[in-house]
């Protein structure tokens, strides 16, 4: 296996922090590797190299934004190096002095795989210096040859040039179904069995709560197995390929009228996704994780871009969404369900490409419509398992024998960050009253339409939606019985905020289910909820009741990638 990419020698400038931050992480040890023969770098940078890299080192020393990709990776790097060793590098001003030249080739043994990114971490050594090398598409125990292309604080990024000794228990190169796997950055795990992918995603949840929650280990339940996706390929109902604009020389030639007419797609026009480790777009004609109708629509969209490329000065991101056909307008039964934004049809599905177009999906017995450019989960096959798990968590089976009366079953549901109403509507038949809130007014209009669309399936439920900040929902549901109210939290990647948590703890819903596309911010938030709940329990208003983390697991919405959805269930108990 080989992976070669053009590299930029510059990085985005940024001011250094006033003080050198201390590191955080858990100490671990690992046996280092020596650099490949003939590529041993000097133990200390020369003055010329130091002058050239001074600006980059200031940038490297910048503290990563909390919960960003770099922050998560830094925690994993520190854990591998060991807290004491990493701090010693900081104290000696060596944390940004990589012991390897850029483009040096090294032979390494992979120590572990980053559960959050899917990249491998290896320890290389130069003299008495240890340094972590981050490499894509390699697995624990493998012997690999790499080329370093960018330095960061305590680690360097490298291209995978060759797998010298594969991990035959994990790696099976007959598994990938995409001819671009290993070159396209979209998937990391196609060479792994699906069972191994689910194990790694469980590890992501474990590490996130270890590094970011601040919760005592004895208060974190055993992480459950990752809930699988019914489909491992052909599942993705949304695709966003992109392309870069024409080169300036070509644009100038067009303006002068000197450029020849394009009869075939030029080599500089790449329509697809980023290549591994770069921001360069590579041509992708088909994506095996996308649904069939999207793959049928992709050539049409690519051809449209080519035919209109002279109109573009900059690149753009395209949109393809899998949709059920829309019914014709009332009173016009002869009208076609296809529109100008429909570029393909396949097996009862259509491909919608207009950001403002309407998309229709069926989830279980319910129908959902939303604007194509707004958020909706991108794996339809996993939505019934997701919503079913949440419902079952809210209504667990009663124990066979109990010494006290069982808690009353929830009758009211609060859906914070409700979006187009997925959880509200799917779970509404189990509740007498449902209230949802979402910041996006457009999503709220979609939620209201979806409630009306499924009115016949919600005969006994009163469902309402309002537009506003999620924290505002608690002021509107003061009449809900707290012990019989379930709260669902499904925020964006940045998680929720202190104001929401404060009002949530004060409200005191009997059951809370936190669904997250970013388990690291979820871990932070759950830690804050438990801490504030414990403090609130000591007050007269709290009455000795606090939240406990009852269960925690991942759900696989994106097979073949390192991404995992996380579901945490909290229950209010009397201590």
Please state the residue numbers annotated as binding site.
377, 417, 438, 490
Gyration radius of the chain over CA positions: 26
Tokens representing 151 are 């330095």
User: What does the alpha-carbon distance between residue 126 and residue 156 come to, in Å, rounded to a whole number?
Assistant: 14
SS (H, E, C) 193-204: CHHHHHHHHHHH
User: What does the alpha-carbon distance between residue 39 and residue 37 come to, in Å, rounded to a whole number?
Assistant: 6
Q: What is the DSSP letter of 90?
A: H
User: What does the alpha-carbon distance between residue 435 and residue 466 come to, in Å, rounded to a whole number?
Assistant: 8
187 is catalytic: no
User: What does the alpha-carbon distance between residue 262 and residue 307 come to, in Å, rounded to a whole number?
Assistant: 9
Q: Identify whether the C-beta of residue 518 lies closer than 8 Å to the C-beta of residue 555.
A: no
Phi then psi for residue 335, to 5 deg, are: -70, 145
Q: Identify whether the C-beta of residue 494 lies closer than 8 Å to the C-beta of residue 521.
A: yes
User: What does the alpha-carbon distance between residue 227 and residue 53 come to, in Å, rounded to a whole number?
Assistant: 46
Closest CA to 525 of 514, 538, 517: 514
User: What does the alpha-carbon distance between residue 104 and residue 148 come to, in Å, rounded to a whole number?
Assistant: 5
Among 96, 178, 287, 517, the active-site one is: 517
Query: What is the number of residues in the chain?
Result: 575
Give residue 275's region: left, alpha or beta (phi > 0; psi -120 to 50).
beta
Annotated binding site for S-adenosyl-L-methionine: 377, 417, 438, 490
Closest CA to 176 of 101, 130, 233, 133: 233
Closest CA to 493 of 71, 134, 79, 68: 68
Tokens representing 20 are 């050198």
Tokens representing 448 are 């209201």
The DSSP result for 411-431, as a single string, is -EEEEET-TTTHHHHHHGGG-
- List, by residue number, the catalytic residues: 517
């Amino acid at each position: 296996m080989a992976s070669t990419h053009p590299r930029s020698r510059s990085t985005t400038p940024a001011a250094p922090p006033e003080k050198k931050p201390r590191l955080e992480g858990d100490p671990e040890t690992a046996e280092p590797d020596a650099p490949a023969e003939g590529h041993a770098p000097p133990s200390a940078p020369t003055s010329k190299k130091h002058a050239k890299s001074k600006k980059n080192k200031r940038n490297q020393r910048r503290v990563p934004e909390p919960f960003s990709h770099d922050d998560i990776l830094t925690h994993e790097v520190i854990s591998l190096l060991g807290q004491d060793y990493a701090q010693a590098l900081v104290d000696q001003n060596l944390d940004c002095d990589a012991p390897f030249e850029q483009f040096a080739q090294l032979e390494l043994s992979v120590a572990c795989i980053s559960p959050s990114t899917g990249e491998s971490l290896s320890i290389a050594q130069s003299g008495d210096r240890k340094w972590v090398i981050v490499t894509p598409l390699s697995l624990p125990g493998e012997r690999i040859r790499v080329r370093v292309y960018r330095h960061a604080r305590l680690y360097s990024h490298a291209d995978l040039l060759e797998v010298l000794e594969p991990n035959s228990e994990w790696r099976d190169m007959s598994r990938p179904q995409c001819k671009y796997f290993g070159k396209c950055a979209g998937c990391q795990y196609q060479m792994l069995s699906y069972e191994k992918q689910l194990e790694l995603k469980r590890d992501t949840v474990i590490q996130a709560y270890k590094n970011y929650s601040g919760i005592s280990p004895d208060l974190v339940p055993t992480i459950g197995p990752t809930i699988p996706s019914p489909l491992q390929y052909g599942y993705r109902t949304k695709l966003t390929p992109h392309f870069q604009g024409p080169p300036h020389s070509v644009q100038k030639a067009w303006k002068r009228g000197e450029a020849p007419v394009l009869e075939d797609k030029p080599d500089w026009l790449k329509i697809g996704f980023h290549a591994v480790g770069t921001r360069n777009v590579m041509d992708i004609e088909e994506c095996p994780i996308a649904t069939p109708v999207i793959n049928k629509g992709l050539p049409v969209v690519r051809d449209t871009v080519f035919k209109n490329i002279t109109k573009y000065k900059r690149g753009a991101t395209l949109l393809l969404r899998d949709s059920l056909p829309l019914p014709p307008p009332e009173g016009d039964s002869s009208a076609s369900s296809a529109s100008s934004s429909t570029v393909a049809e396949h097996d009862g599905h259509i491909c919608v490409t207009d950001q403002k177009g309407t998309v229709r999906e069926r989830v279980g017995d319910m129908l959902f419509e939303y604007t194509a450019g707004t958020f909706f989960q991108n794996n339809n096959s996993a939505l019934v398992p997701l919503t079913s798990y949440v419902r079952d968590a809210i209504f667990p089976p009663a124990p066979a024998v109990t010494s006290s009366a069982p808690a009353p079953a929830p009758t009211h549901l609060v859906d914070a960050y409700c979006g187009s109403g997925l959880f509200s509507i799917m779970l509404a038949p189990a509740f007498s009253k449902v209230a949802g809130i979402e910041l996006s007014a457009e999503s709220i209009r979609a939620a209201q339409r979806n409630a009306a669309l499924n009115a016949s399936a919600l005969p006994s439920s009163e469902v309402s939606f309002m537009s506003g900040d999620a924290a505002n929902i608690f002021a509107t549901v003061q009449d809900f019985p707290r012990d019989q109210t379930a709260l669902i939290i499904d925020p964006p990647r940045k998680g929720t905020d202190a104001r929401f948590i404060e009002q949530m703890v004060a409200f005191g819903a009997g059951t809370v289910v936190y669904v997250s596309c970013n388990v690291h911010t979820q871990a932070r938030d759950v830690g804050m909820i438990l801490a504030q709940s414990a403090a609130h329990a000591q007050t007269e208003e709290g009455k000795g009741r606090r939240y406990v983390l009852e269960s925690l697991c991942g759900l696989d919405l994106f097979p073949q990638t390192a991404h995992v959805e996380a579901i945490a269930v909290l229950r209010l108990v009397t201590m």
